Amino acid sequence: MNIMDSKLYEKLNTIVDFVLLNLLWLLMCLPVITVFPATAALFGVVRKWKMEKEPPVLKTYFALFKENFIQSSLIGFIWTAIGAALYLDFNLVGGNVLLKFLLLIMVSVYTIVSIYLFPVMVHYKNSLLHTIKNSFYLAILKPMNLVMSLVILYCSYLLLISFPISILIIGSTTAYFIYMICFSTFQKAEKINTNVENI
């Protein structure tokens, strides 16, 4: 039997693709300011895999990095600023229970939108504002999917701190599972003809 046609070869090829994609993501995250474009490109490649395409990972990653650079950078700066402001407010609010409760709600919304932000960014061609709005709308459309995404992120974190070597593949595999979950939400939104902008 030709090994090139075997299931084993296919599985090994898939693993290599995941490792290569993960290493590209880590490399492009090194300048720090490119974390958001790098992550958008990561999810963009995963999306192409889901859409039953098999693009060359290296070429596709850099093409998507360039394509999403401006929008993902703008969202990244805005989102980082909002996160920093929420963190500072939470630490400066003191013992005011009501303000802490309101901030907790805001932090929860921030977290919810953050999970769906990149999948929505690469799946729909939206403006910056619509990307953020649709991320929240789609996240609450299927609450169990949101919970599953949080569980995957937490498990990935535990795996990374328990087995640091997993850094070689944890980013791409986590993005893959997160996108698969988000994709089922996108399908539901499209089936029920929701108000998602520019589907």
Non-local (6+) Cβ contacts of 42 within 8 A are: 21, 24, 25, 61, 118, 171, 172, 175
* pLDDT number for residue 4: 52
Model pLDDT, residue 99: 83
Q: Is 136 exposed, middle or buried (0-12, 13-18, 19+ CB in 10 A)?
A: middle
The whole-number pLDDT of residue 1 equals: 46
Residues in Cβ contact with 124 at an 8 Å cutoff, skipping those fewer than 6 apart? 130, 131, 134, 196, 197, 198, 199
Q: Tens of pLDDT along the chain (199 residues)?
A: 455 557 777 788 888 999 999 999 999 999 888 999 999 999 999 999 988 777 789 999 999 999 989 989 999 999 999 999 988 887 787 777 788 888 888 989 999 999 999 999 999 888 888 888 889 988 888 889 999 999 999 999 999 999 999 999 999 999 999 999 999 988 888 777 655 555 4
Mark out the alpha helices in 5-142 (DSSP H runs): 7-29, 35-50, 57-67, 69-92, 97-123, 128-141
Report how far residue 156's alpha carbon sits from residue 177's, in angstroms, rounded to the nearest whole number: 11
The alpha carbon torsion through 129, 132, 137, 139 (nearest 10 deg) reads 170
Domain residue ranges of the chain, discontinuous segments joined by +: 3-191
Measure the CA–CA gap between 160 and 43, rounded to whole angstroms: 19
pLDDT value of position 181: 93
Can you give the pTM of this predicted structure?
0.87
Q: In the prediction, which pLDDT does 41 show?
A: 95
